[in-house]
Amino acid sequence: MRKKILNRKKINPSTQIFTGVKYSDDLNMQLFIYNENEYVENSKFYEKDFNGFNNDEKQYWLNTHAIHDTEQITSICKKAKIHDLVIQDILDVNQRPKFQEYEDYWFFSMKSILPSDSTEIESEQLSFILGKNYLISFQEKKSDHFEHVRHRIREKIGILRERGTDYLLFLLLESILDNYFKTIENIEDIVENFVLIDINEDPSPTLLNTIENYKRQLHSIKKTILPIRDFVSKVEREKFSLIQQKHIKYFFELKDICLTLLDNCDKIEARLESDINLFFSIQGHRMNQVMKTLTVVSTIFIPLTFLAGIYGMNFSNMPELTWKYGYFGIWAIILIVFIIMILYFKRKKWF
pLDDT of residue 239: 76
From start to end of 59-154, where are the E strands? 59-65, 98-101, 106-114, 122-130, 134-139
Q: Say if CB 132 and CB 104 are below 8 A apart.
A: yes
**pTM above the 0.95 mark?**
no
Rg (CA), the chain: 35
* Per-residue pLDDT tens digits for 216-255: 889 888 988 888 888 888 887 877 788 888 888 898 899 9
Residue 341: pLDDT band by 50, 70, 90 thresholds? confident
Query: When comparing pLDDT for 197 and 92, which is higher?
Result: 92
The kind and range of the H/E element at 152 are helix 147-155
pLDDT of residue 32: 93
pLDDT of residue 116: 62
Residue 131: pLDDT band by 50, 70, 90 thresholds? very high
Q: Which CATH superfamily is domain 28-281 in?
A: CorA soluble domain-like (3.30.460.20)
Instruction: Read off the amino acid at residue 2.
Output: R
- Would the pLDDT of 292 be above 80? yes
Domains of the chain by residue range = 28-281, 311-347
* Per-residue pLDDT tens digits for 1-31: 445 556 555 555 667 777 777 766 678 889 9
- Would the pLDDT of 202 be above 60? no
Report the C-alpha gap between 38 and 135 in whole angstroms: 18
**Please, how many CA atoms are within 13 Å of residue 85, restricted to the half-sphere of its CB?**
8
Residue 136: pLDDT band by 50, 70, 90 thresholds? very high
Burial class (CB in 10 A: 0-12, 13-18, 19+), 67: buried
* Per-residue pLDDT tens digits for 71-127: 888 888 888 889 988 998 898 888 888 888 888 899 999 888 876 655 677 788 899
Question: What is the chain's mean pLDDT, rounded?
Answer: 83
- Would the pLDDT of 34 be above 90? yes
Q: Secondary structure of 161-192 in the HEC alphabet?
A: HHCCHHHHHHHHHHHHHHHHHHHHHHHHHHHH
